[in-house]
Amino acid sequence: MAPPKVFVGSTNIAPWMGDAVRAAGADVIDDPAQAQAIVWSDPFDVDGLRAVLSAATDAGWVQLPWAGVEHYAAAGIFDDGRTWTCGKGVYAEPVAEHALALLLAGLRDFPERVAATRWGRQSGRSLYEGRVTVLGGGGITEALLTLLAPFRVTTTVVRRRPAPMPGASRVVGADATLDALADADAVVLALALTPATAGVIDRTALDRMTEHAWLVNVARGGHVVTDDLVTALKDGAIGGAGLDVTDPEPLPEGHPLWDVPNCIITPHTANTLEMARPILSARITENIRRFTSGEPLIGLVDPELGY
């Protein structure tokens, strides 16, 4: 069987993506009109991909680089009958690691300790035997549940389909979100951004959380109503927030979140390019191999759900 012809590109072509395609024995080509598959390197260049798709009429499969594909879903680009895959699950372990770091730093009052110039007060909470609620039931949550296991926490996972998950104490549907927030020491956001999940953490949700609870967001900034969060942090309605993503993003200088002492902000670094390169390369190579041999692909996007 002849090696498949794969078009790799966007306005920001990553050369190592072509190497990942070649590692599976496929041919990297420059003309999308001849392509059987597309590996796209820019998670935001919707118009560029749309132009390539118009030329690549024989390409039945498209691999996107990151797990978040909301920009493409909003543009209706998945509704073309092709098979779509993304980086779903690829970055689960480093992102879960970052979520745990933010959570522990928050519960242990590290923002106060880092800024201190004199001996401080006795404060902080232990994660052991605590209660953690995670919104989302994908790969990040799976990895996080493994990391949380040694802490003997009680974990509640909120997901679209409340099927059991290994390591979760209980799994509930999205209709039980507010109840799941009520007794948590920490709430972690690890879900896809869709119209149904945008603004899921608003004033009502924050009011249901306990005064000591920490909110950790490693998903998308749009899950949180930022103005409501700023108010909750300033009023002491919750213990604090650890944010790797924000709305807006990048968070501009002078934004009120920068001045809230019980808020940790990292600049979307739960998964950096250096972390992503080897694991995304492996995913591309494996999916090209599977495409060549007719095996099921990994990280399929559901066009109806938008992720």
Q: Is the pLDDT of residue 257 over 90?
A: yes
Q: Can you give the pLDDT at residue 306?
A: 87
**CA angle, corner 115, sides to 113 and 118, nearest 5?**
70
Task: Give residue 85's pLDDT band: very low, low, confident or very high (50, 70, 90).
Answer: very high
Q: Directed axis angle between helix 15-23 and helix 273-293, to 10°?
A: 40
**Residues in contact with 163: Cβ distance below 8 Å, sequence separation at least 6, in sequence order:** 137, 171
Instruction: Tell me the C-alpha distance between 63 and 24, whole Å.
Output: 14
Q: Is the pLDDT of residue 156 over 90?
A: yes
**Catalytic: which of 125, 249, 286, 290?**
249
Q: Can you give the pLDDT at residue 42?
A: 86
Q: Directed axis angle between helix 139-148 and helix 92-107, to 10°?
A: 50
In this predicted model, what pLDDT tens digit does every residue of 123-134 receive, in sequence order?
999 999 999 999
Across the range 246-261, mean pLDDT stands at 97
In this predicted model, what pLDDT tens digit does every residue of 9-36 receive, in sequence order?
876 677 899 999 999 999 999 999 999 9
Across the range 204-228, mean pLDDT stands at 98
Instruction: Tell me the C-alpha distance between 193 and 297, whole Å.
Output: 22
- The overall average pLDDT reported for the chain is 95
Could you tell me the residue ranges of all domains in the chain?
Answer: 5-88+272-293, 92-265
Q: Can you give the pLDDT at residue 34?
A: 97
In this predicted model, what pLDDT tens digit does every residue of 143-154 receive, in sequence order?
999 999 999 999
The fraction of the chain above a pLDDT of 70, given in percent, is 99
Q: Is the pLDDT of residue 71 over 90?
A: no
User: HSE of 287 in the Cβ direction (CA atoms, 13 Å)?
Assistant: 28
| Domain 5-88+272-293 matches domain 92-265 at the CATH topology level | yes
**Catalytic: which of 98, 131, 208, 220?**
220
Task: Give residue 43's pLDDT band: very low, low, confident or very high (50, 70, 90).
Answer: confident
Q: Can you give the pLDDT at residue 1?
A: 67
Does the active-site annotation cover 112?
Answer: no
Does the active-site annotation cover 118?
Answer: no
pLDDT: which is higher, 304 or 244: 244
Q: Contact 64/82 with Cβ under 8 angstroms? A: no
Q: Can you give the pLDDT at residue 230?
A: 98
Q: Is the pLDDT of residue 269 over 80?
A: yes
Cα distances (Å, whole numbers) of residue 296 to 26, 106, 136, 286 = 17, 41, 24, 11
**Catalytic: which of 268, 277, 289, 290?**
268
What fold, for 92-265? Answer: Rossmann fold (3.40.50)
Across the range 101-125, mean pLDDT stands at 96
Does the active-site annotation cover 220?
Answer: yes
**CA angle, corner 270, sides to 265 and 275, nearest 5?**
145
Q: Can you give the pLDDT at residue 54?
A: 95
Instruction: Tell me the C-alpha distance between 205 and 202, whole Å.
Output: 5
Q: Is the pLDDT of residue 192 over 90?
A: yes
> Which burial class, exposed, middle or buried, applies to 140 when counting CB atoms under 10 A from its CB (0-12, 13-18, 19+)?
buried
Across the range 240-269, mean pLDDT stands at 97
- Candidate CATH numbers 3.40.1000.10, 3.90.850.10, 3.40.50.1000, 3.40.50.720; the one for domain 5-88+272-293: 3.40.50.720
